[in-house]
């Protein structure tokens, strides 16, 4: 079974624990639930299926039933908080706690680097900028960014990108280790929402740049669910084509950000006023 810090989903960890024990003995959901102090013989399965939550006491009992202690128990507590948090703010706080626990005990979280990568706009920008400025100092790179940034902030981002393996130095110059950065867990998707929020804020001052180097357009329209899905497909295909064009570029001169945004401005009039959008 994988170390606990390679998980961000506590239910997945619990299920893998159950499957691992079952392979080595006549372990059952009844026994798992009993070991954790629950009267219901199927309670652990109900939790793993996402049909019930763990209370604070339940977290402690479940962790003990899985033999967790020390930093592993601390990590499990934070992982449950992350999985059961009802707001983005609380989920972010819990995941950062998971990363901090792993870092304190010098173990690496599987998605920790991805989460930190998307924590600030500087990381993806400098990952693109550094390779096209061979020999440049952090101060020189800072001066090339439209959003104001300090040389120290640039240096911190470069250090992180290098340690995370997203940039590497070849003959003293930065080069990208991979052509793209991808993460698929809930933690990465959470960080991506924060990144979209940051990038959206950067779009407003970019309106003041010369029209020759920026393109803004928009349309307000009435849609049905069916037409929304069709437009969503067109945008996805457009994004894929743009990525292909960027991937083929061999003479990069500037770093750009493209935001594709399609979002509701009203509630659905056919579904009542209580719909959440």
Question: What secondary structure does DSSP assign to 40-65, as a single string?
Answer: STTHHHHHHTTSS---HHHHHHHHHH
Residue where one domain finishes, among candidates 81, 109, 137 = 109
In sequence order, the 6+-apart residues with CB closer than 8 A to the CB of 208 are none
**248: which 2 tokens?**
């083929």
Same domain, 28 and 105: yes
Q: Is 234 a member of any domain?
A: yes
Write the pLDDT tens digit of every residue in 161-216: 998 888 999 988 999 886 566 655 667 777 788 888 889 999 999 999 999 999 99
Same domain, 25 and 96: yes
Q: Is 48 a member of any domain?
A: yes
Same domain, 158 and 199: yes
Same domain, 131 and 179: yes
**47: which 2 tokens?**
């939790």
Given a cut of 60, whether residue 109 has pLDDT beyond it is no
Same domain, 58 and 11: yes
Residue 15 near residue 49 (C-beta atoms within 8 A): no
Given a cut of 80, whether residue 98 has pLDDT beyond it is yes
Q: Is 83 a member of any domain?
A: yes
Helical residues (DSSP H) of the chain, grouped into ranges: 10-24, 29-35, 43-48, 56-65, 70-84, 88-104, 112-117, 122-129, 138-143, 151-163, 186-206, 225-248
Domain that holds residue 229: 220-277
Q: How far apart are CA 50 and CA 38, in angstroms?
A: 17
Q: How far apart are CA 273 and CA 275, in angstroms?
A: 6
| CA-angle at 61, arms to 55 and 67, nearest 5° | 135
Read off the pTM.
0.66
Same domain, 22 and 105: yes
Residue where one domain finishes, among candidates 209, 235, 256 = 209
**31: which 2 tokens?**
């026994």
Domain harbouring 165, CATH code: 1.10.10
Same domain, 75 and 26: yes
Q: How far apart are CA 260 and CA 237, in angstroms?
A: 12
Residue 59 near residue 77 (C-beta atoms within 8 A): yes
Same domain, 82 and 24: yes
What phi and psi, each to the nearest 5 degrees, are found at residue 169?
A: -100, 130
Same domain, 102 and 143: no
Same domain, 146 and 99: no
Given a cut of 50, whether residue 275 has pLDDT beyond it is no
Q: How many structural domains does the chain have?
A: 3
For residue 174, which of 218, 211, 141 has the smallest C-alpha distance?
141
For residue 13, which of 79, 97, 98 has the smallest C-alpha distance?
79
Over residues 82-92, mean pLDDT: 91
Write the pLDDT tens digit of every residue in 30-62: 999 999 999 999 999 999 999 999 999 999 999
Domain harbouring 63, CATH code: 1.10.260
Which value, to the nearest 10 degrees, does the dihedral of the CA atoms of residues 67, 70, 76, 82 take? 170
Same domain, 86 and 11: yes
Residue where one domain finishes, among candidates 109, 130, 147 = 109
Residue 192 confidence (pLDDT): 81
Q: Is 215 a member of any domain?
A: no
- CA of 222: how far to CAs of 89, 160, 194, 264, 271, in Å? 32, 44, 28, 9, 15
| CA-angle at 80, arms to 79 and 82, nearest 5° | 65
- For tokens 């401005």, what's the residue? 265
Same domain, 123 and 186: yes
Write the pLDDT tens digit of every residue in 118-174: 888 999 999 999 999 999 999 999 999 998 999 999 999 999 999 888 899 998 899
């Amino acid at each position: 079974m994988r170390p606990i810090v390679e998980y961000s989903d506590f239910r997945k960890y619990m299920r893998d624990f159950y499957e691992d024990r079952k392979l080595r003995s006549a372990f059952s959901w009844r026994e798992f639930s009993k070991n954790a102090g629950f009267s219901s013989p199927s309670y652990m399965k109900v939790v793993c299926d996402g049909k019930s939550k763990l209370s604070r006491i339940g977290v402690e009992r479940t962790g003990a039933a899985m033999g967790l202690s020390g930093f592993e128990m601390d990590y499990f507590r934070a992982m449950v908080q992350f999985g059961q948090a009802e707001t983005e703010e609380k989920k972010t706080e819990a995941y950062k706690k998971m990363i901090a626990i792993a870092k304190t005990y010098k173990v690496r979280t599987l998605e920790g680097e991805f989460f930190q990568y998307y924590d600030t706009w500087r990381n993806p920008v400098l990952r693109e900028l550094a390779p096209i400025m061979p020999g440049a100092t952090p101060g020189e790179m800072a001066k090339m960014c439209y959003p104001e940034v300090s040389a120290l902030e640039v240096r911190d981002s470069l250090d992180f990108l290098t340690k995370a393996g997203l940039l590497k130095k070849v003959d003293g110059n930065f080069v990208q280790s991979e052509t793209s950065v991808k993460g698929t867990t809930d933690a990465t998707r959470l960080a991506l929402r924060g990144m979209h929020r940051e990038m959206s804020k950067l779009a407003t001052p970019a309106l003041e740049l010369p029209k020759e180097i920026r393109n803004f357009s928009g349309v307000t329209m009435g849609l049905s669910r069916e037409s929304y899905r069709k437009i969503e497909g067109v945008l996805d295909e457009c994004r894929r084509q743009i990525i292909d064009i960027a991937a083929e570029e061999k003479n990069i001169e500037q770093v750009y950000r493209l935001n594709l945004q399609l979002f509701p401005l009203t509630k659905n009039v056919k579904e009542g006023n209580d719909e959440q959008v």
